[in-house]
Structure 1
Amino acid sequence: MAELLALSFLLEPNHPAYLVQPGQGYDGVVRLTIDGTRTCTGSLLTSGRHILTAAQCFETQTPGPPTRQPNPNSVQITFELPHGLVNRTATAIHVHPQWDNSINHNANLAIIELAEAAPAEADRYLIYRGQDELSEINQVFTRVGYGLPGDGANGADPNGSYQRRIGGNRYDAFGDLLNRPPQGFQADATLGNITAQTQLLYDFDTFTRTRDALGREYGLHDLGVLRPIIGISAAERGLPPLMDQELPANPQRFEAIPIPPQPRPANPTHPFVIPWESGTTTGDEGSPAFIDGRIAGIASHGVAPQTPGINMSEGLNGSVGEYFLDTRVSAYADFIEQILQETTPIPDQSGMILGLIGGAIALLWSLRLRA
């Protein structure tokens, strides 16, 4: 019963609480349409000319030979802004030279160079630069992406819409933890080659020990992430059912079982919490994970647990019980900075126009004085 109540929180992926509207600070998170058929997600960097995303977005098959020079004409970049949709084209796509297009997804990073500057109102984002090698681990992040909706129990809905949604999770370990087999299993010869400390690993467990993949297979127990809502009642905001309890002393790590399905009565003086833990689905590839407003991770891929009974839905579809991995952005900061520095600046057209006008006025004034 406790598990069913926890999962009841995840049955409304299209609830307004999880849909990102223009003007909420995520207008730099863009939809990428590749070859007119596939959807990925990207995020605008501070240059206003570059979109950070995943290299796998430009592959037709994985695994396979890596595509080093994708056709920039294959991608359309769409900004969802308060005044409507704005499209941009690409002039180049820079894939990390160590992208391997294997099941390990090493160096799964690409930068799209825009043919013209992004709209001025689109948000720009810095990349996260950790102060030490463990800075991202145990931190809660915010994910924004254009993935298909999923309810957690059944995974992604293939007939759903690619809308900009928001969620979160906590990075539990580096991805190379999966290089060794889970407790009680033999090594898998096809795995074990994730480059050390270049990927960030988390799971989707929704407050239940049964679905806690990292806890059951690697001894890293962590049961769910909540988001505090302070200053207004749940009913007034139209949020999904909330947990009828105060925030615990340590809201980052705790068990919340059982969970009553009724919302708390309106009381704007108390904090509320809503379920926030999520995974990724088709369309979220390349989507940013923010820590302190900076891009810390880029959605890469998922892995199914080996222990029977953890994964709530067969296969890899973003359901509860799966592992998820992000490309660790701070590990590739030098590559990102290099691409930004090598890009030819776009002339400031407004400055050129003002200069021409000023020159014309000066010429006319000079002719007047001569007369």
Structure 2
Amino acid sequence: MSWQARSLIVGQTSTSMIPSGGDPRYLAFNKAGYSGVVGLLMRYDSGAGFVCSGSLLSSGRIVTAAHCVSGGIANDIDGRAAGLVNTTAFFYDAEDALQGDDPFVYPTGGATLSGITAIDISNYSVNPGYTGEVIDQNDIAVLSLSEAAPSWAQRYDLYTPGAGGLTGEQFNVTGYGTRSVIGGAEGTTGPGAGAGVGRLRQGENVYDYRFGDQVFGGVWNAVLGGTAKYDYSYISDFDNGLAAQSMSCRVSQAVIGAATPGDFCTNGVGDLEVSIAGGDSGSPAFIDGKIASVSSYGLSFGSNFGDFKPGLQSSWGELNGFVPTYIHASFIAGVPEPSTWAMMLLGFGFIGGSMRRRTGTASRVRLTYA
């Protein structure tokens, strides 16, 4: 049973700009509670720029995916990827943005656009259990802002599920990643399909299960291999209403047969069902307005298991992987506000290298400047 995974909001139909035929149902407005979702731009000494997404926990902290700021534990320097010079978080104020409610958040021609607030990251705190492998339940990091976030940016709490965890729960996911001119039939590749990064989109999906759900009896260990922990890695598939593209159902049936619960074999939530894509890494998934998970990776077991288009491009059938925040509540709470960091530096003679923050690795989206 072969599979392909990559650390990487595509809708049923177009998520491009509205004047270009995009479906307005996927727009994510500040007034709807998305003002605390940020675009992240990582700049490297090679001149390369890579993008991810994140969400505001408090005035000074953002939660995102570990792989966004890491080159792997063994290769990191001072708690970040080798060569990573600077990371900036971008917030947009819809009332001030000359671009209206669908702004491009990243710098254009080197300049930050009207209505966009750019704040540099001052400290990287990556979960110490993160291995750098693509499928890893510890792919989570907290980034400290160098100054307080804008007062109009929403702060989010973490979602705490019931005893059954997140399995079967519907969520709303939003991010600044790659959009699609066409939708799930083509995903982000193919002639004219990709619509670029940097404009916020949102949609719905359901956590189908986690790899460690009891019904699987540990069978995923043999399928996925590796050294990372992934019992609490949750997946959802990108349904189009047809059983043929219900990959979460089909791969489950392949590994546990008739024991597959019927709840694993639904055909989606309708027209607003979406998939994450490159640049959405680290983006929040919300339940009741609280952060339930961060986006981590895309995964496919191929056309035989429902991938509408071979390869990984966020087409119908592909799986998305998420890191639940509830299992990391203590880690997140343990990262102090930046003002507290300042007091530690002043009062205890803190040396940066002695409290190195470990990080991991994965693919990132290259940002091309206009």
Scaled by the length of structure 2, the TM-score of the pair is 0.70
Q: Which residue in 1 is equivalent to 2:60?
A: 49
Q: Could you report, residue by residue, the CA deviation over 1:280-339 in whole angstroms, capped at 9, with x for unpaired residues?
A: 100100000001111001000021125616111221121111111100110010000111
SS, match of residue 312 in structure 1: coil
Kindly provide the amino acid, as one letter, of the partner of residue 224 in structure 1.
G
Answering whether residue 148 of structure 2 is matched by residue 114 of structure 1, we say no
Answering whether residue 86 of structure 2 is matched by residue 74 of structure 1, we say yes
Answering whether residue 237 of structure 2 is matched by residue 203 of structure 1, we say yes
SS, match of residue 344 in structure 1: helix
Post-superposition offset of 1:25: 1.2
Alpha-carbon distance in structure 2 between the residues aligned to 1:213 and 1:309: 6
Percent identity over the alignment is 28
Q: Which runs of 5 or more residues in structure 2 are unaligned?
A: 1-10, 17-22, 97-114, 253-259, 344-370
Q: Could you report, residue by residue, the CA deviation over 1:94-138 in whole angstroms, capped at 9, with x for unpaired residues?
A: 011011111322300011101111000000000112232x13211
Alpha-carbon distance in structure 1 between the residues aligned to 2:203 and 2:179: 12
Alpha-carbon distance in structure 2 between the residues aligned to 1:125 and 1:159: 29
Q: Which residue in 1 is equivalent to 2:40?
A: 32
Q: Could you report, residue by residue, the CA deviation over 1:217-275 in whole angstroms, capped at 9, with x for unpaired residues?
A: 2132011113xxxxxxxxxxxxxxxxxxxxxxxxxxxxxxxxxxxxxxxxxxxxxxxx1
Alpha-carbon distance in structure 2 between the residues aligned to 1:209 and 1:197: 26
Q: Which residue in 2 is equivalent to 1:142?
A: 172
Q: Which runs of 5 or more residues in structure 1 are unaligned?
A: 1-8, 227-274, 348-371
Aligned pairs, how many?
Answer: 282
SS, match of residue 309 in structure 2: coil
Answering whether residue 187 of structure 2 is matched by residue 155 of structure 1, we say yes
Post-superposition offset of 1:141: 0.2
Question: Which has the higher Rg, Structure 1 or Structure 2?
Answer: 1
CA separation of 1:158 and 1:341: change in aligned 2, threshold 3 A:
same
Alpha-carbon distance in structure 2 between the residues aligned to 1:116 and 1:313: 44
SS, match of residue 340 in structure 2: coil
Confirm or deny: 8 A CA contact 1:28 1:122 kept in the other structure: yes
Alpha-carbon distance in structure 2 between the residues aligned to 1:307 and 1:24: 37
Alpha-carbon distance in structure 2 between the residues aligned to 1:88 and 1:107: 26
**TM superposition outliers: structure 1 runs of 4+ over 2 Å:** 21-24, 63-68, 103-106, 157-162, 175-181, 190-198, 340-343
SS, match of residue 26 in structure 1: coil
CA separation of 1:102 and 1:192: change in aligned 2, threshold 3 A:
closer
SS, match of residue 274 in structure 2: coil
Q: Which residue in 1 is equivalent to 2:289?
A: 293
Q: Which residue in 1 is equivalent to 2:267?
A: 223
Confirm or deny: 8 A CA contact 2:90 2:119 kept in the other structure: yes
Q: Which residue in 2 is equivalent to 1:263?
A: none
RMSD: 2.6
Kindly provide the amino acid, as one letter, of the partner of residue 64 in structure 2.
T
Answering whether residue 154 of structure 2 is matched by residue 123 of structure 1, we say yes
Q: Which residue in 1 is equivalent to 2:104?
A: none
Kindly provide the amino acid, as one letter, of the partner of residue 206 in structure 1.
N
Scaled by the length of structure 1, the TM-score of the pair is 0.70
SS, match of residue 210 in structure 1: helix
Alpha-carbon distance in structure 1 between the residues aligned to 2:162 and 2:339: 27
Answering whether residue 95 of structure 2 is matched by residue 85 of structure 1, we say no
Confirm or deny: 8 A CA contact 2:60 2:337 kept in the other structure: no
SS, match of residue 74 in structure 1: strand
Kindly provide the amino acid, as one letter, of the partner of residue 171 in structure 1.
Y
Kindly provide the amino acid, as one letter, of the partner of residue 187 in structure 2.
G
Post-superposition offset of 1:21: 2.8
